[in-house]
Amino acid sequence: MQTKHGFFLLNKPSGPSSAKAIYPIKKLSYVEKLGHAGTLDPLASGLLVVGINKATRLLGYAQAGIKRYSGTFKLGITTDTYDCMGRVLEEKTVTVDSGVVTNLSSSFMGEQMQQPPIYSALKIRGLPSYKRARMGEEVTLAPRKITIYNFKIKEVDKNLYSFHCECSTGTYIRSIVSDIGTKLKTGACLMSLQRDASLPFTLEQATTLEKIEEQCLMPWWEVIKSQRIAFSEKEILDLQCGRQEFLKDISKKINAESSMSELLLYTNQEGNPIGLLKWVGEKYELLLHIE
């Protein structure tokens, strides 16, 4: 059987971790290696981009796009994980007017530094932060630069609000909710969360685990937005052999009017994509070769 390389767009259910949600895909006969882009917490549902075989090397590029989320949060409750699956630390009576809450969204817009929750998959010396926190270790995570492009809040019920958020990769929605609770001095926790998009992919394109089959596999090159260049059989052989002079001369084959692309997708003479080059320093280097 020919080895396949590409991406599944999975509609993850709420409940399992991302790793557990994708594990059944590993049982497919043509899957040797498996990974996912952009971890979703157990509470969260929605779009999860899953890479198989050599396409796992491209997961960093697959998760680089803007994210869109929707969900709900509740005022008056503070938990250690910032969501409803955590241990309740404090409960308060809420007297804040709903208009104050909905208008608060504008203060979160733009580029900013965000403090990730200690109960997260971020690794500290090789171990996920949440595991260290559960062992009772004192965990400190450095703030991360994020950007919130759009954020809307709407009242659903007493102390319960829905939201839509468009943000950069690496943004923790739980932290945004926690910050809302801090600003209002009421506490707040995330009640539900769904990833609606990880651009250019949307939840509408995704399928459930039960319906995933070979026909759902997205070609690996569809996640890459880059220039294309065709190589002859000899040039492809030069690439595979790592001949440095050829690698240095590749840029000469690119249209002089084009800006240098970080990634360069190359095809055979028939136009079939077979690999990727990455610009490193002063030349392209082989990132991925698939035939």
Q: Is 41 noted as a catalytic residue in this protein? A: yes
Report the distance separating Cα 214 and Cα 218, nearest Å: 9
Are the C-beta atoms of 76 and 48 separated by less than 8 Å? no
Comparing C-alpha atoms, which of 213, 210, 229, 231 is closest to residue 221? Answer: 229
The structure tokens listed for 96 are 């804040």
Active site residues: 41
